[in-house]
Structure 1
Amino acid sequence: MTAALDCPQPQARSWHADRALSQAAGSALKTRPDYRQHDSALAQLDRISPALTNGYYNHAPMVVEALSAMGQGREALAWLEREADSFTPVDAETSPLNPDNWRALIAAPGRYADWRAYFQNALETDPWREVVAIWVNRLVFGFSSSAAHGLLQTAHAARALQSDATPQRLRALANALAGWASRYSPLPVDVLPNQGVLDFQAALNAITPLSADKAPGEGAITAGYAQLVHAPGFAEDVSLVDLSGDLDARFDALMAVMASVFLSLARTPYTVIVFTHAVTGTAAARTLSQIVPDAVGRQLLFRAFEHGAALKAAFTPLALQSEAPRKALPPGDPARRAAQHGDDHMIKLTEAVLDAYKRTHNPVFLDVIAQAFAVLPAPNTH
């Protein structure tokens, strides 16, 4: 009779999986920014509108910065050439904005070019960090405007300026702030932080998704936001989140929670795109929090959580119509593979989670990359 073993035996290992994870992790930790082509890419975008020919928000300024941030800046010009047919030009300016009347001009139709001129003038006279701090504070209630793309573009522009404050990058920041201000649109629920006591995961677990008859289908993400008026208790539940503690650590914790939301609900190409915004929106808020005062950083933290909670509440019913994808392995060089893949969401998501992985070494971020590549086809295979 064989004697019982008195010590636990090691589980069987998948050497292929271990090797893939090790290669991806090593590549992530070695990623270094490369902004040598960045200004040339921005020059091609200076007179481009935030609107694509299909009406959606133009991701190009964000993509070229994300490529530069993860060492793939040499791919930016080729990416722009492939996407150029979808760009639209900036409309003509109408009249100068009165800075004393900015509240009345937020989201005014047809004023993007005027906002652009206003921010260009402001950045010629005031330090860019001061302009960012003032206007993030003014615009943060509209965090989710245009599916958070105004905030995202502003964060990408600000990060490039931290590397080098060139004239082209200052103009890119003016364009980003103009895009946010001209399309300002808060969520249709009035949510305010309430000195809550729940951590991010507990507060997110309390969110009740929309019922199936109220949930949006595939379409503009903003259509999902509109349905939040039918989400029971959404405002009260979101307000219970705890915002205390070290701000950087809290953002890293929120990034991990949003990564888990992605892994749970990003099951189809469309839902990958939807829940990418929960991750990239949090990453962008963290970037801006490094520039603004702490009180504004806390507002960014709260709105980033609210934004992710809104996506979860609105799009969970659609996501659960599909089975969860099989667990996949990340590519050995995620940054290079994202650049080759070419999808704008893939590029921005990969950059955001690689940056988070470098800070935290949390493998959940490598899992996000793996799942995104497994589910989202390259643009030429749609």
Structure 2
Amino acid sequence: MDTTGILDEALERLHVSGPERMGRLTNHAPMAVEALAARGQARSVHRWLDLYAHKLEEFPAGVERVTAADWAAALGDPRRAADWIDYFQREVTERPWREVLAEWWPRLLPGMYGGSAHPVIRVGHAVRTLLVSGEDAGPRVDELAHGLGYWAARHRPVEGVAPLPGADSAAGALDAVTPIAEQDGSFPARLDRVTGLPVWAADVSDPDEAHRRLTELVRAATHRYATHAHGEPTMLVHAATAPNAVLRTLPALPRELWVPSMRAAWTASAAVTAMYAPDAPAAYVPPGTLTPDEVFERALAHGDEHVIKLTDTALDVGDEQAIAAALRAIELSDPLV
């Protein structure tokens, strides 16, 4: 983890920008710079930000202050992003960040599908760096407030999804996902067409087992990207990175929240799979003998934010097929220019 102060500088630089651009596209920079710092590439953070800067917009104007008395009315209103971020900045200033996270995680968890699941991914990156850097982390605590505020503004539950026959393993359950019939349109439009998902790990009640199964899901979704990414190379990244964000957050949460977290992560990963899966897999291409550091350096040289984040997750998994997934993302994605 970066100890030079570069990550904090980058986050301060980014917190004058909004969480989105063009009214719908996510600002990925806070997530990408945290991944760069976590993978020993802090020296490249500002250079990467200079390349990404044209994708940033000014921080949006507020509408009306969110309070403890009226927050429910503002939940899921993207116009209130600035209001929500201001609310969480006040919260993490007045209380320990773990306390704020534990209170709001179960409120936000049912709506992790808004913003194409980017808000929970941003929170996962923020929590990872906070768990390493400690309680008094300045801009890193502020980054958690930005992530939680973005999540509250884009909160979108998934309802009415019928349980379908599944499988015991996460890989088998992902294989059992039926793609939606009309694979076109925006993320929200596609999500509305997801009416049924396979059952997986429904009988889990033990927190430690939930952690194990969630780890299995991240591995399975990452492996699957190596052979299925051509369905939609950018959006299918989230089938792996969203559950990994939840997995990274579990150590900061009360154990009673681990099982519902695993279940929400499964729904997110399976839904993204249904929305963007190709008709058939591609042939698996072994990754050769590249080291993890060499793979991440290739992702950095490519520069695309989704490539960096998928590679970051692939290195968490750490096996051959995960490395192959990272190389597949590099192959199929347009580089940052």
SS of residue in 1 equivalent to 2:313:
helix
Tell me, yes or no, if the aligned pair for 1:151 and 1:180 is still in contact at 8 Å: yes
Task: Specify the code of the residue in structure 2 equivalent to 1:201.
Answer: A
Question: Residues of 2 paired with 1:191 and 1:41: CA distance?
Answer: 43
Map 1:1-382 onto structure 2 (within 5 A).
33-36=1-4, 37-53=6-22, 55-164=24-133, 165-190=136-161, 198-211=168-181, 215-217=182-184, 220-229=186-195, 234-235=196-197, 237-238=198-199, 241-244=202-205, 246=208, 247-267=210-230, 271-316=232-277, 319-320=278-279, 324=282, 327-329=285-287, 331-332=290-291, 333-357=294-318, 362-380=319-337
Give the count of matched residue pairs.
Answer: 328
Q: CA deviation at 1:151?
A: 0.3
Q: CA deviation at 1:260?
A: 3.1
Is the radius of gyration larger for structure 1 or structure 2? 1
Q: CA deviation at 1:300?
A: 1.5
> Between the two proteins, what is the percent identity of the paired residues?
29
Tell me, yes or no, if the aligned pair for 1:144 and 1:186 is still in contact at 8 Å: yes
103-112 or 123-132, which moves further after superposition? 103-112
TM-score, length of structure 1 as denominator length: 0.79
Tell me, yes or no, if the aligned pair for 1:72 and 1:335 is still in contact at 8 Å: no
SS of residue in 2 equivalent to 1:90:
coil
Tell me, yes or no, if the aligned pair for 1:224 and 1:311 is still in contact at 8 Å: no
Question: Residues of 2 paired with 1:376 and 1:94: CA distance?
Answer: 37
Tell me, yes or no, if the aligned pair for 1:189 and 1:228 is still in contact at 8 Å: no
SS of residue in 2 equivalent to 1:379:
coil
SS of residue in 2 equivalent to 1:185:
coil
Question: Residues of 1 paired with 2:161 and 2:179: CA distance?
Answer: 17
Question: Residues of 2 paired with 1:225 and 1:302: CA distance?
Answer: 17
Tell me, yes or no, if the aligned pair for 1:199 and 1:241 is still in contact at 8 Å: no
Which sections of structure 1, spanning at least 5 residues, go unmatched?
Answer: 1-32
SS of residue in 2 equivalent to 1:110:
helix
Residue 18 of structure 1: aligned partner: none
Question: Residues of 2 paired with 1:167 and 1:328: CA distance?
Answer: 42
Q: Please, what is the CA RMSD of the aligned residues?
A: 2.4
Q: CA deviation at 1:188?
A: 4.7
Which sections of structure 2, spanning at least 5 residues, go unmatched?
Answer: none
Q: CA deviation at 1:328?
A: 4.7
SS of residue in 1 equivalent to 2:171:
helix
Question: Residues of 2 paired with 1:52 and 1:143: CA distance?
Answer: 19
Tell me, yes or no, if the aligned pair for 2:250 and 2:258 is still in contact at 8 Å: yes
Q: CA deviation at 1:320?
A: 2.3
Question: Residues of 2 paired with 1:53 and 1:150: CA distance?
Answer: 17
Tell me, yes or no, if the aligned pair for 2:36 and 2:42 is still in contact at 8 Å: yes
Task: Specify the code of the residue in structure 2 equivalent to 1:224.
Answer: R
Compared with structure 1, are the counterparts of its residues 74 and 92 closer, same or farther at alpha carbon in structure 2 (3 Å cutoff)? same
Q: CA deviation at 1:325?
A: 5.3
Shift >6 Å, 4+ stretches: none
Q: CA deviation at 1:34?
A: 2.5
Q: Deviations over 1:119-147 (max 9, x none)?
A: 11111111101111111111001122111
Compared with structure 1, are the counterparts of its residues 202 and 86 closer, same or farther at alpha carbon in structure 2 (3 Å cutoff)? closer
Compared with structure 1, are the counterparts of its residues 363 and 220 closer, same or farther at alpha carbon in structure 2 (3 Å cutoff)? same
Question: Residues of 1 paired with 2:3 and 2:18: CA distance?
Answer: 23
Question: Residues of 2 paired with 1:261 and 1:189: CA distance?
Answer: 26
TM-score, length of structure 2 as denominator length: 0.89
Question: Residues of 2 paired with 1:240 and 1:337: CA distance?
Answer: 36
Tell me, yes or no, if the aligned pair for 2:226 and 2:284 is still in contact at 8 Å: no
Compared with structure 1, are the counterparts of its residues 173 and 189 closer, same or farther at alpha carbon in structure 2 (3 Å cutoff)? same
